[in-house]
Chain A
Amino acid sequence: MSTNSEVKTEKLTAKDFASDQDVRWCPGCGDYSILAQVQRTLPDLIKKDKEKVVWISGIGCSSRFPYYMNTYGFHSIHGRATAIATGVKIAKPELDVWVATGDGDLLSIGGNHFIHSCRKNIDIKIILFNNRIYGLTKGQYSPTSEKGKITKTSPFGSIDYPFNPVSVAIGADATFVARSIDRRPKHLQEMIKRAGEHKGIAFLEIYQNCNIFNDGAFSILTEKDTRDDHVLVLEHGKPMIFGKNHDKGIKLDGEKPMIVDLSKGQYSKDDLLVHDEFSDSPVLAIILAHMTDHPDFPTPIGVFRQVKKETYDQGVDRQIRDVTKMRGEGDLEKTLFSGNTWEVN
């Protein structure tokens, strides 16, 4: 059954977050890793009130996620997870509200809800499983599929330009934007933790391999021989260095990033761009976001940006408090009898 009958008093473990339902993703799917890292990380975030965790999803392979979590869960309709999560959070701000979603669910049918939840700084955590394909409908191109991709609905190559989800989130003023990869469990755990700790909207894009319909989409970023030359791990306050031999760096030339070779003596670490997650300006984060998928640049992972702002539910509660202070607790009788009234005797 899909209920839990145990309430633990000691520290929670990954097991406490696993439901009794059989996980039904394809063997080898990247979703398994994401589920495992979430279950491992949640005990660090949730000390004891497991009942305050809610997972909400839309439709797609990733959206089965709530069934496998032993928390409150809502597997809803295509694209609407963010909007439903918004209602849950505003209604009950003490809950920890998480959204599990995919590239089609969040960025195509649910695109509108996504940008507005970013803009409004709704305090929910959006975990995007980006496999750049429609998996549950068996292999059509998605809004993050690369241009030219051959799929069942683009037999001659997709003519769409893809969304860059991190860029969309930064553009919509999300207060926490990060990226990780299913095949980097430690990094992924760290990013889940950071997202969970953030007060405000947290957007975490996870590159996730669909081994059935889009196998190897991210192999250049995950395979041992290529990954170090193609992934830039962002760390706050640290110069941007990558490469197998830690010999390549990112330097800014005006507004444009350039790759410099640190091994030749011309450039040193001091010439490199230093990451600042907490900058008030989104410019650096946008520059980094646009290095994604650029043939000449490494793909950044890590926290692109984290800033503080009043959250939507805080704003709602503040107004309720202020108005109540100003007008006093609502009195139904008085309200019914307000306005222009007159007596008939």
Chain B
Amino acid sequence: MTEVKEKPVKTVSDVTVRFAGDSGDGMQLTGSQFSDTTAWVGNDLNTLPDYPAEIRAPAGTLYGVSGFQLHFSSNDVHTPGDVPDVLVAMNPAALKKNLPELKPNGTIIVNTDSFDKKNLKLAHYDSNPLEDGSVDGFHVYKVPITTLTTNALEGTSLSPKEVNRSKNFFALGMMYWLYNRPLDKTEEWVKLKFKNKPQLIDANIKALKAGYNFGEITEIFTTRYNVEPAKLPKGTYRNISGNEALSLGFLTASVKSGLKLFLGSYPITPASDILQFISIYKNFGAKTFQAEDEIAGISSSIGASFAGQLALTTTSGPGLALKSEAIGLAVMTELPLVIVNVQRGGPSTGLPTKTEQSDLLQAMYGRNGEAPVVVLAARTPRDCFYMAIEASRIALKYMTPVILLTDGYIANGSEPWRIPHADQIPEIPVKFRTEKEGFFPYSRDENLARPWAIPGTPGLEHRIGGLEKEDITGNVSYDPENHDKMIHIRAQKIKNVENDIPLLDVEGDDEGDLLVLGWGGTYGTLKDAVVRARDNGYKVSQAHLRYINPLPKNTEEVLGKFKKILIPEINMGQLAVIIRNRFLIDVKQFNKVRGLPFKISDVYGKITEIIGGNNVN
């Protein structure tokens, strides 16, 4: 036996890896394990899970391919990466679907065992791409992953099917070796996950180690890579997805307001995680109600709000449409309520597992009557935490429904989050009305909020409802002048929120040739595109809206200092409609609605196209 020689380690600063395989191959698990370990070793990172709507599409098919992209670096990371440097393809369909997006000269690691006649046919390959020149120009590592996993697990009591399921751990182990990452975190996870199935703990850890050792001893890998930890601010970190951050944000708002959390919701992709996370928080007194439909989800939350809890409902686009009438009821009854819309591809059922920003106008205007609500948008996975708290604060302070928009990309994507200490997060003051003297259900405080007098309070028995209310008394009123007055009061109340939110911040110079104005989950991509343009001498800055209704007070002033405004959106131009309408200014649009995040290069291309002549270089 030859002695295993330590292989050379090459340091690189920035890597994008995509794991791809059948939707039953465990690629999401592999990707998230690699992410957690990568975060733990101190890299900055950003992830993009991309999976089909079918849970177990027929094996080997193109439409059954599930992918997980991960961008990690020793520098700051804001996006999951435009193009992968490395593709791990577990079958021919995964190769076929992802090869066009791989970086020229990129690396491919394939499971050669799956490249049989049947799978090639399912992937619509006439000949084997590994032999017919299709992958020329790439660094291809051909590894018989299935065979090697089977060999490693010989002698275990597992069925061949179970053995086959462990092959993603072999692939993960191999990638850990290649990128010089420890196995500990995944081993811990496996032990916890399968604590009632010791034979699976044993098998998966064996497969993981076999993959790692294979890297060490095989002759096909000559080099391994190292990505140094990023220089992140000091603190304690965890890797967090948008949906989990959002759930923790609402839990925090519950603790900080002293109100128990109530979530009435109906499962819908990609928002279901939030219901799952919050249903764990029972020892905080959080109550979750999995309703019979979307309408019952919001209606039960309106009931809980009436009864004095921090009430929340979560959904995605089609569910927001179903909730419209009830949101109008919350507007009319002026009850605090947070509605989360994790946007996905539309219209109709659309692309349930893909991302989009096409519900902005639905959030703004999608109700009968004049029914203004506060509209907020989180911009990164970790920002979901802070915006959940902010949405709760505004809803409670102004007695109003607040729609908080996120999207499939930031909901499922993850990044390292420097965890704030609970005691550093401000309290959210809440006061229930108990004083009988002078109580009127529709009298108002300085913010135009009406009193919150909850059932169970002696002497404050009163009725609310969806019929127009008489100013102050809250009695049903059909009086024309009163209706006009109430319409204006409700509008003014929402407008007043502008005095209570941060000003719009400009990243880059305060003036210049172009301002790239965005909102929501495109933040990271726009930031990288703008920085690249600035590095190349363009006079470009960035501003990103987290508050859309009302807009920050200085929005017009910010926009006015740039010669041109570009609004890139993953829709047909919905923020552009709002900005043009509000400020009567011209704005350029960039719209690409593919169900995927923008590519930095696409946005950069648009920036240079618009101000091409102004390049000082």
A positions within 8 Å CB-CB of B: 1-7, 19, 21, 49-52, 54, 56, 59, 66-67, 69-77, 80, 83-92, 94-95, 112-113, 116, 316, 319-320, 323-324, 326-330, 332-333, 335-345
A329 to chain B, nearest CB (A): 6
Partner of B461, one of A50, A56, A86: A50
**Interface-lining segment among B57-65, B157-165, B287-295, B498-506:** B287-295
B positions within 8 Å CB-CB of A: 36, 39-42, 185, 229, 232-239, 248, 251-252, 255, 260, 262, 264, 281-285, 287, 289, 291-293, 295-296, 299-309, 311, 325-326, 328-329, 333, 418-423, 436, 439-441, 454-467, 473-476
Given contacts A66-B465, A76-B299, contact A87 B304 (CB under 8 A): yes
Among A69, A75, A84, max chain B CB count under 10 A is at A84
Given contacts A2-B473, A330-B281, contact A341 B293 (CB under 8 A): no
Partner of B289, one of A21, A59, A67, A90: A90
Instruction: Give the docked Cα–Cα distance between A341 and B292 (Å).
Output: 37
Instruction: Give the docked Cα–Cα distance between A328 and B283 (Å).
Output: 7
| Contact of B234 with A341 in the complex, beta carbons under 8 Å | no
| Contact of A66 with B306 in the complex, beta carbons under 8 Å | no
Given contacts A87-B302, A87-B303, A91-B303, contact A52 B456 (CB under 8 A): yes
Instruction: Give the docked Cα–Cα distance between A116 and B262 (Å).
Output: 19
Given contacts A1-B475, A340-B36, A342-B39, contact A332 B292 (CB under 8 A): no
| Contact of A77 with B456 in the complex, beta carbons under 8 Å | no
Given contacts A5-B436, A66-B465, contact A344 B39 (CB under 8 A): no
Q: Across chains A and B, which 4 residue pairs bring their CB atoms closest together, nearest first? A: A87-B303, A75-B465, A87-B300, A330-B284
| Contact of B304 with A91 in the complex, beta carbons under 8 Å | yes
State the main secondary structure of chain B at its contact with A.
Answer: mixed
A63 to chain B, nearest CB (A): 9
Instruction: Give the docked Cα–Cα distance between A25 and B306 (Å).
Output: 27
Name the A residues within 8 Å of B232 (CB-CB). 344
Instruction: Give the docked Cα–Cα distance between A86 and B255 (Å).
Output: 24
| Contact of A4 with B465 in the complex, beta carbons under 8 Å | no
Name the B residues within 8 Å of A52 (CB-CB). 455-456
Instruction: Give the docked Cα–Cα distance between A329 and B418 (Å).
Output: 25
Instruction: Give the docked Cα–Cα distance between A77 and B475 (Å).
Output: 17
| Contact of A76 with B329 in the complex, beta carbons under 8 Å | yes
Partner of A340, one of B39, B455, B473: B39
Among B238, B307, B422, max chain A CB count under 10 A is at B307
B243 to chain A, nearest CB (A): 14
Name the B residues within 8 Å of A83 (CB-CB). 291-292, 295-296, 299-300, 303
Seed contacts A51-B458, A332-B251, A344-B418; 10 additional CB < 8 Å A-B pairs = A2-B441, A4-B461, A21-B475, A51-B461, A74-B465, A86-B299, A87-B306, A328-B283, A332-B252, A336-B421
Name the B residues within 8 Å of A90 (CB-CB). 262, 287, 289, 300, 303-304
Name the A residues within 8 Å of B238 (CB-CB). 337-342
Given contacts A84-B299, A337-B419, contact A51 B460 (CB under 8 A): yes
| Contact of A88 with B303 in the complex, beta carbons under 8 Å | yes
| Contact of A113 with B463 in the complex, beta carbons under 8 Å | no
| Residue ID in chain B nearest A55 by CB atoms | B463
| Contact of B285 with A320 in the complex, beta carbons under 8 Å | yes
| Residue ID in chain A nearest B189 by CB atoms | A340
Name the B residues within 8 Å of A49 (CB-CB). 458
Given contacts A51-B457, A116-B296, A328-B283, contact A73 B464 (CB under 8 A): yes
Instruction: Give the docked Cα–Cα distance between A337 and B240 (Å).
Output: 11
Instruction: Give the docked Cα–Cα distance between A345 and B235 (Å).
Output: 7
Given contacts A3-B439, A87-B304, contact A67 B456 (CB under 8 A): no
State the main secondary structure of chain A at its contact with B.
Answer: mixed
| Contact of A72 with B455 in the complex, beta carbons under 8 Å | yes
Given contacts A336-B419, A341-B237, contact A2 B292 (CB under 8 A): no
Instruction: Give the docked Cα–Cα distance between A268 and B229 (Å).
Output: 92
| Contact of B440 with A1 in the complex, beta carbons under 8 Å | yes
Instruction: Give the docked Cα–Cα distance between A337 and B417 (Å).
Output: 11
Given contacts A74-B465, A340-B239, A345-B234, contact A323 B295 (CB under 8 A): no
A7 to chain B, nearest CB (A): 5
| Contact of A77 with B296 in the complex, beta carbons under 8 Å | no
Name the A residues within 8 Å of B281 (CB-CB). 330, 335
Name the B residues within 8 Å of A86 (CB-CB). 289, 291, 296, 299-300, 303
Instruction: Give the docked Cα–Cα distance between A152 and B311 (Å).
Output: 42
| Contact of A343 with B289 in the complex, beta carbons under 8 Å | no
Name the A residues within 8 Å of B251 (CB-CB). 330, 332, 335
Instruction: Give the docked Cα–Cα distance between A344 and B234 (Å).
Output: 5
A205 to chain B, nearest CB (A): 21
B31 to chain A, nearest CB (A): 15
Instruction: Give the docked Cα–Cα distance between A158 and B236 (Å).
Output: 68
| Contact of A80 with B299 in the complex, beta carbons under 8 Å | yes
| Contact of B289 with A76 in the complex, beta carbons under 8 Å | no
| Contact of B325 with A332 in the complex, beta carbons under 8 Å | no
A10 to chain B, nearest CB (A): 15
| Residue ID in chain B nearest A322 by CB atoms | B282
| Residue ID in chain A nearest B439 by CB atoms | A3
| Residue ID in chain B nearest A56 by CB atoms | B303
B117 to chain A, nearest CB (A): 42
B182 to chain A, nearest CB (A): 12
Name the A residues within 8 Å of B287 (CB-CB). 90-91, 316, 320
Given contacts A52-B455, A77-B326, A90-B300, contact A95 B283 (CB under 8 A): no
| Contact of A88 with B283 in the complex, beta carbons under 8 Å | no
Name the B residues within 8 Å of A59 (CB-CB). 466
| Contact of B441 with A3 in the complex, beta carbons under 8 Å | yes
Instruction: Give the docked Cα–Cα distance between A84 and B185 (Å).
Output: 45
B238 to chain A, nearest CB (A): 5
Instruction: Give the docked Cα–Cα distance between A72 and B304 (Å).
Output: 14
Name the B residues within 8 Å of A316 (CB-CB). 287
Name the A residues within 8 Å of B260 (CB-CB). 91
Name the B residues within 8 Å of A329 (CB-CB). 283
Instruction: Give the docked Cα–Cα distance between A345 and B422 (Å).
Output: 20
| Contact of B295 with A92 in the complex, beta carbons under 8 Å | no
Instruction: Give the docked Cα–Cα distance between A8 and B476 (Å).
Output: 26
| Contact of B36 with A94 in the complex, beta carbons under 8 Å | no
| Contact of A113 with B296 in the complex, beta carbons under 8 Å | yes
| Contact of B459 with A6 in the complex, beta carbons under 8 Å | yes
B109 to chain A, nearest CB (A): 25
B481 to chain A, nearest CB (A): 19
| Contact of A330 with B461 in the complex, beta carbons under 8 Å | no
A-B CB contact pairs (8 Å), 16 listed: A2-B463, A7-B459, A67-B463, A67-B465, A67-B476, A77-B325, A80-B296, A85-B303, A90-B300, A92-B454, A112-B296, A324-B283, A332-B255, A336-B419, A342-B39, A344-B235
